[in-house]
A and B are shown apart, each in its own frame.
Chain A
Amino acid sequence: EVQLVESGGGLVQPGGSLRLSCVASGFTFSSYEMNWVRQAPGKGLEWVSYITARGDTTFYADSVKGRFIFSRDNAKNSMYLQMNSLRAEDTAVYYCAREILRCGGDCNDYWGQGTQVTVAS
């Protein structure tokens, strides 16, 4: 069974840092491109970042570029989102998600349960 389990969320002050983790199981993690998607309270979905299967290429939304770093460790079936210089507007539920193999576009067929990040003083 495919599973994605996020952790690392919590309450952090503005300007602080947080590292989210997502552990994958039930599939060959190293073969899949992955994404982070977030959802602010009462708002819609927002794509945050993408990483290739090998982890050699990443893309970021403008809203997080220069502050967030997406990485992965295929040997540990894990991926990470290092979030720095956090702002109130980064408050959201963060989901990790797996893309369908060889799919064109944002085709996330499996999602984690989400982890809450709250940025407040």
Chain B
Amino acid sequence: QSALTQPASVSGSPGQSITISCTGTSGDVGAYNYVSWYQQHPGKAPKLMIYEVSNRPSGVSSRFSGSKSGNTASLTISGLQAEDEADYYCTSYTLSGSPFYVFGAGTKVTVL
């Protein structure tokens, strides 16, 4: 059982905006602004999309944004495009002993 809760799937039409939630506890997501989001296409290595809740690495589209409220972090994809169809994982540092980092189970984003 994953420590962070994500919806199994989210879908949207091209051009729309979608939001993926990531719910943890006061011991992980709620403790620090140390939430990251990864995108993974089938058969590929994950790609960092957001770190420290809302920072985008160089080269990541501004259509991707992150936020956090309490124990829930969110990833928003605006102007949805076909290439955004992938699995998305949130991860957080945790104060709760081991593990050091915890992942969500992942969300499959489908572009209709």
| Contacting pair A47 B91 (CB below 8 A) | yes
Interface residues of A in 43-79 (CB under 8 A from B): 44-47, 50, 59-62, 65
Chain A residue nearest in CB terms to B87: A44
| Contacting pair B48 A47 (CB below 8 A) | no
The answer to whether residues A50 and B101 also contact, given A95-B45, A105-B36, A106-B36 and a CB cut-off of 8 A, is yes
| Contacting pair B57 A109 (CB below 8 A) | yes
Is the CB of B105 closer than 8 A to any CB of chain A? yes
Which residues of chain B come closer than 8 Å to A60, judged between CB atoms? 98-100
Chain B residue nearest in CB terms to A44: B106
How many residue pairs bridge A and B at CB < 8 Å?
82
| Contacting pair A45 B89 (CB below 8 A) | yes
Question: Could you list 29 examples of A-B contacts with CB < 8 Å?
Answer: A37-B46, A45-B38, A45-B40, A45-B103, A45-B106, A47-B102, A47-B103, A50-B101, A59-B99, A60-B98, A65-B98, A100-B57, A104-B32, A104-B93, A105-B51, A105-B52, A105-B92, A106-B34, A106-B92, A107-B36, A107-B48, A107-B51, A107-B52, A108-B38, A108-B48, A109-B48, A109-B57, A111-B47, A114-B45
| Contacting pair A105 B46 (CB below 8 A) | no
Which residues of chain B have a CB within 8 Å of any CB of chain A?
2, 32-36, 38, 40, 45-48, 51-52, 57, 87, 89, 91-93, 98-106
Which residues of chain B come closer than 8 Å to A114, judged between CB atoms? 45
Q: A44 touches which one: B2, B47, B98 (CB < 8 A)?
A: B2
The answer to whether residues A105 and B45 also contact, given A44-B2, A44-B89, A45-B106 and a CB cut-off of 8 A, is no
Which residues of chain A come closer than 8 Å to B40, judged between CB atoms? 45
Which residues of chain B come closer than 8 Å to A113, judged between CB atoms? 45
A-B pairs, 6 with minimum CB distance: A105-B34, A107-B51, A111-B45, A59-B100, A106-B101, A47-B101
| Contacting pair A105 B101 (CB below 8 A) | yes
| Contacting pair B32 A108 (CB below 8 A) | no
List 19 additional A-B contacts (Cβ < 8 Å) besides A44-B89, A62-B98, A112-B45: A44-B103, A44-B104, A44-B106, A47-B91, A47-B100, A50-B101, A60-B98, A60-B100, A100-B48, A104-B34, A105-B34, A105-B92, A107-B51, A107-B52, A108-B38, A108-B48, A109-B48, A111-B46, A111-B47
